[in-house]
Amino acid sequence: MDAMRRSVLALAMAASFGARADGAFPTGMSVLLPAALPQRILVGTTFGLVISEDAGTTWRYVCEGHLTGSLATVLVYQGGSNGEVIAAHQDNLSRSDDLCAWTRAAGAMSGLIVVDAFVAPANPDSVLAIGWPPRAGASLFSSSDGGRSFGAPLISSGVPPLGSEERLLSVEIAAVDASVVYATTSALPTGSSPGSSALLRSPDGGASWMRFDLAVDPASCARPMGPCTPAPRPAISTFVRRERMRSSGCRGPTCSAWESGPDASTPAVSAAWTATT
């Protein structure tokens, strides 16, 4: 069955090259396999959502305009373990339980560019989403009803530890502890600022945050077009190793050896880190 599913997924992705739909360059964005519905395969594409309810034997298609309720482009598809699908798009977030009727989120998310969203693995009612105003800034919002509505932001640009010039880029909820939330942020360099990038971690569902800067020291650049060596970052390296082990439930001598091993930027540790995601 696994081999067959891989085959039909490859065919579905290949079929996208013949699609025209909304005029976007046709390609696949993501594949979603809801745990509660083993026969369902969802392929998020740049022209809509392609759906199979019978492990790839037959397919149907939902165009972007139907699921967004506007001419907005979908940026991210995410799925819950119960089969719910949410689509983050350029003017809101839409959701569906049956993949036929789609509703736009009520509340604070309306009118924002929703650049990322994440459904909690163990609780599909819990959804986090990042919304951008058109010109500047960003906020992280929470929903407790599966993305139907969103309230006040958990964190916004200009509220420590997020700088006023920074924008949130991505968000994720830890697989083994739903109270742990990760977000990434970035600010482009300007004439008065070298720019920044950071990993944010909340241990309590977004009530408080710790910041781990991932900056490159401009002084380490030999010349404008020459090689640039990242500044030392022992704190973030240690954090990354421990957090990836903790969130993956890693235990035992192998994990202990890995935690005390080389810096997380080395190929060996990077490969192990990726394997535990």
pLDDT of residue 265: 43
Instruction: Assess whether pLDDT exceeds 80 at residue 252.
Output: no
Per-residue confidence band for 25, with pLDDT thresholds at 50, 70 and 90: low
253 in the same domain as 211: no
Q: Give the least confident one: 41-50, 80-89, 186-195.
A: 186-195
Please report where in the chains the tokens 């005390």 appear, as a residue: 260
182 in the same domain as 105: yes
187 in the same domain as 275: no
197 in the same domain as 118: yes
199 in the same domain as 245: no
In a domain, 89, yes or no: no
| Percent of the chain scoring above 70 in pLDDT | 68
Per-residue confidence band for 52, with pLDDT thresholds at 50, 70 and 90: very high
In a domain, 146, yes or no: yes
- 242-255: average pLDDT: 44
243 in the same domain as 158: no
In a domain, 191, yes or no: yes
Average pLDDT of the residues of the chain: 76
For residue 89, list its beta bridge partners.
74, 92
Count of the separate structural domains present in the chain:
2
189 in the same domain as 107: yes
Domain final residue, candidates 189, 215, 241: 215
130 in the same domain as 167: yes
In a domain, 259, yes or no: yes
The alpha-helical segments, DSSP class H, found in 41-178 are 64-68
| Pairwise CA distance, residues 52 & 44, whole Å | 12
In a domain, 54, yes or no: no
Residue 209: phi and psi, rounded to 5, are -140, 145
Q: Give the least confident one: 87-96, 107-116, 156-165, 267-276.
A: 267-276
Domain that holds residue 249: 232-277
| Pairwise CA distance, residues 158 & 118, whole Å | 23
User: How far is Cα of residue 95 from the mean position of the Cα atoms in its chain?
Assistant: 16
In a domain, 262, yes or no: yes
Per-residue confidence band for 129, with pLDDT thresholds at 50, 70 and 90: very high
199 in the same domain as 242: no
pTM of the model: 0.70
Residue 91 identity? D
In a domain, 77, yes or no: no
267 in the same domain as 199: no
Q: What digits encode the pLDDT tens for the residues 3-14?
A: 444 444 444 444
188 in the same domain as 122: yes
In a domain, 158, yes or no: yes
Per-residue confidence band for 146, with pLDDT thresholds at 50, 70 and 90: very high
- 32-57: average pLDDT: 91
pLDDT of residue 24: 56
Q: Which two tokens stand for residue 27?
A: 């390609």
Q: Which two tokens stand for residue 75?
A: 């940026």
Q: Is the peptide bond before 161 cis (omega within 30 degrees of 0)?
A: yes
